[in-house]
Amino acid sequence: MRVQSAPAALGNRRHFLRAPILGSHVNPAAKQLLLAYSFDVLDVHRVAFRCDARNTRSASAIQRLGASYEGTLRGHRFAPDGSRCDTAVFSILREEWPHVRESLLGRLAPFELADNQCAYVAEPARTEHAA
């Protein structure tokens, strides 16, 4: 039996950006927060990203974050039209995170998002409702 101090895997949700947001600082800022929380708070070893292999815009955005292309899962899922489609897989490892963080913060610098505004992620606040 092996006990690991860090979670082996984390789930990732789909997200969509509206046309005016595409190419802006929103995606790298959101990913910087996700990665900072994953590596600095949760202490994970690896964060993976997936996209439809036909979606070259998403694949390029993921690679610009600093993620490495790992491969393609062929016929991995169903497309909305019912056909099978491939999934491209990318990842960032813990030892790559310091370089990726500096690169992301450099990309965000023109938007005046200081390190303390992007990199710190606290535990979500819990609100209790009166019964």
Q: Give the model confidence (pLDDT) of 6-56 as tens digits.
A: 555 555 555 554 455 555 567 788 889 889 999 999 999 999 999 999 999
Among 89, 104, 123, residue whose Cα is nearest residue 32? 104
Does 122 map to a domain?
Answer: no
d(CA 86, CA 110): 36
pLDDT tier for residue 130 given thresholds of 50, 70 and 90 = very low
Torsion angle (degrees, nearest 10) of CA 35, 27, 64, 10:
30
Q: Could you tell me the residue range of the domain that residue 52 belongs to?
A: 26-115
5 in a structural domain: no
> Looking at the domain assignment, is residue 98 inside a domain?
yes
Is residue 7 assigned to a domain? no
Question: The domain that contains 65 carries what CATH number?
Answer: 3.40.630.30
E-strand stretches of the chain: 46-52, 68-78, 84-93
State the pLDDT at residue 60: 94
Cβ count near 35 (within 10 Å): 22
Number of compact structural domains in the chain = 1
User: Does residue 49 sit within a domain?
Assistant: yes
Q: What is the pLDDT of residues 77-129, one digit of tens each?
A: 998 899 999 999 999 999 999 999 999 988 888 776 555 555 444 444 444 44
For residue 131, tell me if it sits in a domain.
no
Whether 15 is covered by a domain: the verdict is: no
Which among 124, 119, 93 has a CA at the least distance from the CA of 28?
Answer: 119
* Token reading at 44: 């994970």
pLDDT attached to residue 127: 44
Q: Is residue 65 part of a domain?
A: yes
